[in-house]
Structure 1
Amino acid sequence: MAQISTADLYDERGSELRSVSLQFQNIGGMTGFTGPVRTVQCFQDNSLIRQTLSSDGHGAVLVIDGAGSLETALVGDQIAELACDNGWAGLIVNGAIRDRVAIGTLPFGVKALGSNPAKSTKTGAGEVDVPVEIAGVTFRPGATVWCDDDGILVEP
């Protein structure tokens, strides 16, 4: 099934959707991806991300709210490959990733604010499948999100 562009989708549905104004970088090998939202809220700690992505993704998009921190990477090539292998459609990372060249070779969508080679902590701090807000837009588990080169749209 062909991916509908976010611009066309917005033209069609307008105010039914929320558009994320924060400018994410396309890092994964696929720039267009869509699926139901799952979430992880964490700060400079990727334990819950790895744990969540170790399960079958069923085509979902994991929205990771790392509070916009660029001080440590929340996702690296191993975690991205795990997500890809487990059937996740993609990741939206409100924070940094690392191993961007390797992630760029995966047939998988990844949007992030930037990259940093520094590792995150692994204490398990954070929450899974809670509503998260990024740039004034709330992502609720189960809502549909669409991503492409133009940006990110989500159902309210």
Structure 2
Amino acid sequence: MALISPPAFATCDLCDVHKNDSSGQFRVLPPVFRDFGGVARFSGPVSTVKCFEDNSLVKVAVDSPGEGRVLVVDGGASLRRALVGGNLGAAAARNGWAGVVVDGCVRDVSELAQCSTGIRALAAMPLPTEKRQEGQRDVAIQIQGVWVYPGDWLYADEDGMVVMASPLKA
């Protein structure tokens, strides 16, 4: 597998530039997410899933071509069930997802650390979800009080995560 160079951005620099933005076009996710994936720095256009203790739509998403996108999962901040595990992390990496951000839990932590994709979540929880085929895909979601929309751009590095309405200019 070829090594991918990290994206040329720093969330601290983005925050310096946009610190007085009141338009809602620039948003910072709270520092409550832990890094579980094999890639610490990632970015890409956002695709969303809204679900609660049911990862059926997360599986559908990561089993589809990621094309460098970031899947942002509104799991309702549940700490009772894991929405992403080793199999889904491997699928996300295999299918070209730049990252997966879960407002909820993950499991199979050692397997996720081997995945060549970014994975952030609130905590680890060994209990899997139920499969009820419930949830919504590519809808506006709220993650820790911050709105995230399909098509936004998410930038994640060692300092945190920011969401922007449009990508950085090259």
What TM-score does the superposition give when structure 1 sets the normalisation length?
0.96
Partner of 2:116: 107
Letter aligned with residue 23 of structure 1: V
Equivalenced residue count is 156
Question: What is the CA distance between 1:134 and its match in structure 2?
Answer: 1.1
TM-score normalised by the chain length of structure 2: 0.88
C-alpha distance in structure 2 between counterparts of 1:90 and 1:131, whole Å: 18
Query: How far off its partner does 1:2 sit?
Result: 4.4
Aligned-partner Cα distance in 1 for 2:150–2:91: 21
User: 1:12 aligns to what?
Assistant: 17
The within-5 A match list for 1:20-99 is 20-99=29-108
Q: State the Cα distance separating 1:150 from its structure 2 match.
A: 1.1
RMSD over aligned Cα atoms: 1.2
For 2:150 and 2:80, how far apart are their aligned partners in 1? Answer: 26
TM superposition outliers: structure 1 runs of 4+ over 6 Å: none
Q: Which has the higher mean CA deviation after the structures are superposed, 11-20 or 25-34?
A: 11-20
SS at match of 1:91: strand
Identify the residue that residue 123 of structure 1 maps to in structure 2: 132
Q: Which residue of 2 aligns with 1:133?
A: 142
Structure 1 residue 13 displacement after superposition: 3.2
Gaps of 5+ in 1: none
Q: Distance in 2 between matches of 1:129 and 1:22?
A: 24
Conserved? CA contact 1:64–1:91, under 8 Å: yes
Cα distance in 2 for residues equivalent to 1:32 and 1:39: 19
Write the distance in 1 (CA, Å) between the matches of 2:108 and 2:43.
Answer: 23
Contact 1:22–1:135 (Cα < 8 Å) also in 2 = no
Per-residue deviation, residues 48-77 of structure 1 (Å, max 9, x unmatched): 100111111110000001000010100000
Whether contact under 8 Å (2:54, 2:129) holds in the other structure is: yes
Report the structure number with the largest CA radius of gyration. 2
Deviations 1:4-57 (A, max 9, x none): 110012212332511111410001011110000000000000111001111111
